[in-house]
Structure 1
C-alpha cells in the first residue's frame, strides 16, 4: 500500500456520477462516498457507520461533523506538508464548517485533487488558489508504507 496506490484508486473513480450519500464506483458517490470507497479498497471495512447527513453537513448547527470524523480516523498533517494521497477538507465559505473533501493527486506547480462535486461527478481538479484558500485541514490515510 502506497500513496501512489491511493491516488490510483481515487483516479479509478473518475467519471462516477455524483450521488448524495452514494459510495459505489461507477454507480454514484458524493465526496465522502469517494473517500469511503478508497478506504474500503486500501484499508478494508470502514471504521464506523456513517450516519445519514444532509447536503449542508451540519452547517446550520455549526457542528464540525466531517472534521471530527477525520480526526478520529486519519492522521493530521500541517497544511504545508503536501503529499499525494492526502485527504483535504474544505470550507466552502469563510467561517462555515468543513463540508467538502478530496484526495490530493499531484503536488507542486501542477497540484491537483480528486473529488466528487455536485453537477460534475468524480473529477480531478487543479488545486488552484481559490481551492487552496478553502483548505481547512490536511490528513494522511493511516497506511503502513508511508
Structure 2
C-alpha cells in the first residue's frame, strides 16, 4: 500500500495552533518540532520506530553530535534538497557551527515552498520557506511511504 503525500500534509495541518511545549507530542495540547514529526508519523504510519530519549533545548550541541540527523537517517529516506516536494521533512541548522536541531514538513511545493513546524513562542505554524529559513536547511528526507 502506498500513502499519498497530501495525507502527511493534511495531518501536519491538523496540528496548526498546537502550543509549543518542549519534548511534548500531543495534538492540540503541546508539541515541539520533533513532537510534531512524531505525531504525524503515528497518524500516517503507526507506532513510532524508536523511543525518543529525553533531550535538552540545546540538543547535543555541547557534544557536537548530530543526533537528530542520525535519527532521521535511520527512519526516513534522505534525498537531495533540490528535489524537495510536498510531504518532505526538512532538517535545519539554526546557527552556523551548531548541530541541526529543527525539523519541519513541506506543505506546498508549487510556486513558493511552505512548511509546517513547531516553533518556540509560536506553536505549530505554517510559514513560507523564505531565504533566511532556506539558508538553514541542511538536509531533506521523505517518509517511507511504500509498503506500509
Match of 1:46 in 2: 48
Give the secondary-structure state (helix, strand or coil) at the position aligned to 1:139: strand
For 1:9 and 1:23, how far apart are their aligned partners in 2?
13
Q: Is 1:35 aligned with 2:37?
A: yes
Q: TM-score, normalised by structure 1?
A: 0.97
Q: TM-score, normalised by structure 2?
A: 0.96
For 2:99 and 2:110, how far apart are their aligned partners in 1?
27
For 1:36 and 1:120, how far apart are their aligned partners in 2?
19
1:74 to 53, 73, 76: 76
Give the secondary-structure state (helix, strand or coil) at the position aligned to 1:7: helix
Structure 1 residue 82: deviation in Å? 1.2
Match of 1:143 in 2: 145
2:89 to 87, 90, 114: 87
Match of 2:129 in 1: 127
Deviations 1:98-124 (A, max 9, x none): 000000001143210000000000000
Give the secondary-structure state (helix, strand or coil) at the position aligned to 2:78: strand
Match of 2:11 in 1: 9
For 1:92 and 1:114, how far apart are their aligned partners in 2?
16
Match of 2:21 in 1: 19
Match of 1:112 in 2: 114
Give the secondary-structure state (helix, strand or coil) at the position aligned to 2:125: strand
For 1:2 and 1:57, how far apart are their aligned partners in 2?
32
- Runs of 4+ in structure 1 off by over 3 angstroms are none
The more displaced of 108-117 and 8-17 is 108-117
Match of 1:97 in 2: 99
For 1:108 and 1:131, how far apart are their aligned partners in 2?
17
